[in-house]
Structure 1
């Protein structure tokens, strides 16, 4: 449908994949999102969840799409070497990153992880991919009715948040991010204001945070606090700690729902419609 707008989660875990009996309901794959806006397709991050998404896209047939990275830590790029469309010359993929704090290019990072002896297949075999770099804070220009705004986040090495708007509805992806930088925090309130959906880094709880201050991640309490302050309808807790099992995420979800009715805990396969 021309006005259809939705996001599907293919990986919601932080830091490392966590297969096992304790993560069956919420999933153990790392970050990967699929966004559909009318005929447009945009992916965000290429963590381990991208392997399954790639299989789906190949079955649908060749097409053009954009792949946006929040940043290039391993849990957000480790799926690219196993992402089938990237090797298929029938596809056209523009891969973007805007988080770099120096003159590093996205292709430089991918070449590091895809080179012998680390990986047997070189990055030059990704025939479908063109690598592009921008600066967080810029808009990504499009001609299909989908608006993409970006913002700098607080994370070691840098990170980039995204706001997607289509047909007057907005969803935001804010990960990996640590609250506490006054300038970034103030800008973030304006950036997510009024969004129907906000996916937010909730790796820790407030009680845990002091132990992990400076690691580049936030808490579920800060997620609902920001959502309330900015008038976000549905905050979605994301980037789950790899030590966190399904039962503990259930408990966090109940506490977050009580603090901000409508709050969701991200899970693999979840579809969000702004």
Structure 2
């Protein structure tokens, strides 16, 4: 596995100033990109997601599947979505994971809570392009922030397939390089937060 840091700041982007240089670690908010065999995984989508998107486009990565793992919905972890060019490519597919905040339990059961939270942050009059209008295909999974959950992704014919722990028997006959395992981890943070453990082949992150 290879991890790239495209945003390491918290709360707000931090450009260099006369007395504060960000050249060593950059000034963008949280966004990490993990390459694990055929899997492309992004951890949080702060302003660093704009830089990541530009790099992916420069490499001609179009018509691909991506896994996005959101730790929480604070703006410094989501503000890059609307500026990430691959979201504007219809041929791309994004598998987006998050959790159900306490204050949202019992909300509209038909619309996924991850989608609802992102819609609110990226809607008029706060952003000119509604989240649902981004052309890429977007699939959402919500997890319980109070308990650990296990899920898998399978690499099949160039696309990703989500598999819950209950369905994990489907992974038994596949080549290990085409399976990645993710475990959610409850974290203590205002408004709720989850972490992720990622297992691929013999490596863990």
Short-chain TM bin: 0.7 to 0.9
Q: Report the 3-state secondary structure (helix = DSSP H, G, I; strand = E; otherwise coil) of the residue aligned with 2:40.
A: strand
> Hey, which of these two has a bigger chunk of strand by percent?
2
Match of 1:46 in 2: 45
TM-fit CA distance, 1:98: 2.3
Provide the rounded CA distance (Å) in 1 between the counterparts of 2:32 and 2:143.
Answer: 20
Match of 2:122 in 1: 114
CA RMSD of the aligned region, Å?
1.5
> Hey, which of these two has a bigger chunk of helix by percent?
1
Match of 1:79 in 2: 80
Match of 1:157 in 2: 191
TM-fit CA distance, 1:145: 2.4
Q: Report the 3-state secondary structure (helix = DSSP H, G, I; strand = E; otherwise coil) of the residue aligned with 1:25.
A: coil
Moved over 3 A (4+): none
Provide the rounded CA distance (Å) in 2 between the counterparts of 1:90 and 1:166.
Answer: 26
List alignment gaps of at least 5 residues for structure 2.
108-112, 155-177
- Normalising by structure 1, we get a TM-score of 0.58
What aligned pairs does 1:178-257 form with structure 2 within 5 A after superposition?
Answer: none
Residues 213-252 of structure 1, C-alpha deviations (whole Å, 9 max, x = no match): xxxxxxxxxxxxxxxxxxxxxxxxxxxxxxxxxxxxxxxx
Provide the rounded CA distance (Å) in 1 between the counterparts of 2:153 and 2:123.
Answer: 33
Provide the rounded CA distance (Å) in 1 between the counterparts of 2:43 and 2:101.
Answer: 16
TM-fit CA distance, 1:79: 0.3
Contact 2:152–2:179 (8 Å) recurs in 1? no
| Match among 123, 126, 133 for residue 142 of structure 2 | 133
Residues 126-160 of structure 1, C-alpha deviations (whole Å, 9 max, x = no match): 22122321224111222222211111100111101
Count of paired positions: 167
- Normalising by structure 2, we get a TM-score of 0.77
* Larger relative contact order, structure 1 or 2 (CA cutoff 8 Å, min sep 6): 1
Match of 2:8 in 1: 12
Provide the rounded CA distance (Å) in 2 between the counterparts of 1:138 and 1:165.
Answer: 14
Change (3 A) 1:23 1:99: farther
TM-fit CA distance, 1:99: 5.4
Provide the rounded CA distance (Å) in 1 between the counterparts of 2:22 and 2:72.
Answer: 25
